[in-house]
Amino acid sequence: MVPKQGAGSLDTAVRLRIGVVTAFPPGRNSLNEYGYHLVRHLSRLEEVSDVVVYRDETDAGEPAPLDRVEFEPSWTFNDVRTVPRVARAIARTRPDAVILNLQFATFGDKRVPGALGLLLPALLRARGVPTLVILHNLADNVDMQDAGFAGSAFTARLMTLAGRILTRALLRADIVALTIPRYVEFLRDSYGATNALLAPHGSFEEIAKPSFGVPPGRRTIMAFGKWGTYKTVDLLVEAYRLLLARGYDDLRLVLAGTDSPNSPGYMAEAAERYADVPHLEMPGYIAEEEVAPLFLSASVVAFPYTSTTGSSGVLHQAGEYGRAAVLPRIGDLVDVIEEEGFQGVYFEPGDAESLADALALVLDDPERREELGRRNFAAASGVPMAEVVQWHIAHIDRLRTRRRT
């Protein structure tokens, strides 16, 4: 359970200096948006004196200033020096505890630097720094070949084995917080983890209930992500063409987002390949202030994935803005989605006809579209990030209390 504001929290006379290791905007590495909202809400807590962000160095410029937030550019994607660099920055700035916002490719899509970076939580704990990892996926549940981390089935098996070793390393942190109940159960059952705990993903904004209708004009099918590995645009473009051929002449397709780090140049190639498709837009990177208009313009948000790597931040955003979703029926993905309270219309992965049929079910039925939007809004807004960060701070305070006694 996530404590309410002030409930179960430490004496506000003792205010904590919290470190956060994360990708951060305007850099575009994975989990940058989650990192932004995590830091923003942490910095607003009475229990927190200030937040030190050990962020990624990119060529995208400096982060926008935030009250009570200090930025320490401390690591670079695919740099084998990540662990010593971040460790030195933490030793110099002396936070009371460190939160790490991680998935398995946070520090690199090349095997050696990506793996080495994940040893950071174990090192910090060994140095006596209270350490909490927010882990967004599990190596055991990632199709390494489909996600672009392995070029063959044999390499994929080796990568999965390496992932299990790295999972054990991550479990050296004081606390590993996961957003999906079955991930917690899996770590407890398969790894004997006693420090794996459930923490909701959290809604990024405490927003007013959105309009569940759609704006006038062309009905918009929208997809959003980092494209080129298990998230590809081809299936959705093919389904869109099928809908146009069926007489849906009032549609547009918006494919927002940028290349996956594993697939540089993918979206530029896709734009050239599909230049003849009518009313197809590829707006590229979406800045924070453009996210709400993007989602609110959509009649339906599509997820043309071929596999999954964990809880979907894009699905949470679709829910926050009251949008219906069309989702692939992959493995246990449906169960994972519905455990979080979301609902969608499902299609068979890799089947353009099935995807077109699922999109048509939403487009042709305004009542169903609105019902799905309301359900997803309820799921996304159930636990705001403001309360999730209270949970993190309460657990960090208990760690520090145990160490003092």
Lowest mean pLDDT among 121-125, 137-141, 390-394: 137-141
Confidence of residue 6 (pLDDT cuts 50, 70, 90): very low
Lowest mean pLDDT among 310-314, 323-327, 362-366: 310-314
Structure tokens at 126: 């060994």
Mention every residue, 6+ apart, whose C-beta is less than 8 A from residue 234.
270
Are 170 and 183 found together in one domain?
A: yes
Give CA–CA dist 328/351, Å, rounded. Answer: 10
What percent of the chain has pLDDT above 90? Answer: 62
Give CA–CA dist 91/177, Å, rounded. Answer: 24
| 2 pLDDT higher than 60 | no
Q: Is residue 135 part of a domain?
A: yes
Nearest by Cα to 304 from 364, 246, 255: 255
| 319 pLDDT higher than 80 | yes
Q: Domain of 157?
A: 16-202+383-404
Are 310 and 246 found together in one domain?
A: yes
Greater confidence (72 vs 9) lies with: 72
Mention every residue, 6+ apart, whose C-beta is less than 8 A from residue 264.
none
Strand order through the sheet with 345-347: 280-284, 251-259, 219-227, 300-302, 324-328, 345-347
Are 96 and 22 found together in one domain?
A: yes
Q: Vertex 46, ends 44 and 48: CA angle to 5°?
A: 75
Domain count, the chain: 2
Q: Taking the mean position of all CA atoms in its chain, how far away is CA 400?
A: 28
Q: Vertex 211, ends 210 and 213: CA angle to 5°?
A: 145
Q: What is the CATH number of the domain that holds 334?
A: 3.40.50.2000
Mention every residue, 6+ apart, whose C-beta is less than 8 A from residue 44.
386
Are 59 and 197 found together in one domain?
A: yes
Give CA–CA dist 315/224, Å, rounded. Answer: 10
Lowest mean pLDDT among 53-67, 330-344, 364-378: 330-344
Lowest mean pLDDT among 188-192, 287-291, 300-304, 334-338: 334-338
Q: Determine the average pLDDT of the residues in 392-401.
A: 91
193: amino acid identity, one letter = A
Are 181 and 103 found together in one domain?
A: yes
Structure tokens at 33: 């948006």
Report whether 254 contacts 223 (CB < 8 A): yes
Are 376 and 387 found together in one domain?
A: no
The pLDDT of residue 201 is 78
The pLDDT of residue 12 is 47
Q: Is residue 4 part of a domain?
A: no
Q: Is residue 300 part of a domain?
A: yes
Q: Is residue 6 part of a domain?
A: no
| 146 pLDDT higher than 60 | no
| 64 pLDDT higher than 60 | yes
Report whether 355 contacts 338 (CB < 8 A): no
Report whether 58 contacts 29 (CB < 8 A): yes
Are 167 and 275 found together in one domain?
A: no
Give CA–CA dist 199/2, Å, rounded. Answer: 7
Strand order through the sheet with 175-178: 69-75, 48-56, 16-22, 97-102, 131-135, 175-178, 196-198
The pLDDT of residue 370 is 95
| 364 pLDDT higher than 60 | yes
Confidence of residue 5 (pLDDT cuts 50, 70, 90): very low
Are 153 and 261 found together in one domain?
A: no
Are 104 and 232 found together in one domain?
A: no
Hey, how many other C-beta atoms are within 10 angstroms of the C-beta on 244? 16
Are 316 and 392 found together in one domain?
A: no
Lowest mean pLDDT among 49-58, 368-377, 395-404: 395-404
Lowest mean pLDDT among 133-147, 225-239, 354-368: 133-147
b/e map 63-89, b = 16+ CB within 10 Å: beeeeebebbbbbbbebbebbebbbeb
Greater confidence (399 vs 85) lies with: 85
Are 369 and 390 found together in one domain?
A: no
Greater confidence (226 vs 352) lies with: 352
Confidence of residue 329 (pLDDT cuts 50, 70, 90): confident
Confidence of residue 334 (pLDDT cuts 50, 70, 90): confident
Lowest mean pLDDT among 73-77, 147-151, 208-212: 147-151
Are 118 and 261 found together in one domain?
A: no
Report whether 337 contacts 284 (CB < 8 A): no
| 325 pLDDT higher than 50 | yes
Lowest mean pLDDT among 82-86, 185-189, 200-204, 297-301: 200-204
Q: Is residue 256 part of a domain?
A: yes
List helix spans (H) across 56-106. 82-93
Structure tokens at 287: 């800045």
Q: Is residue 5 part of a domain?
A: no
The pLDDT of residue 294 is 94
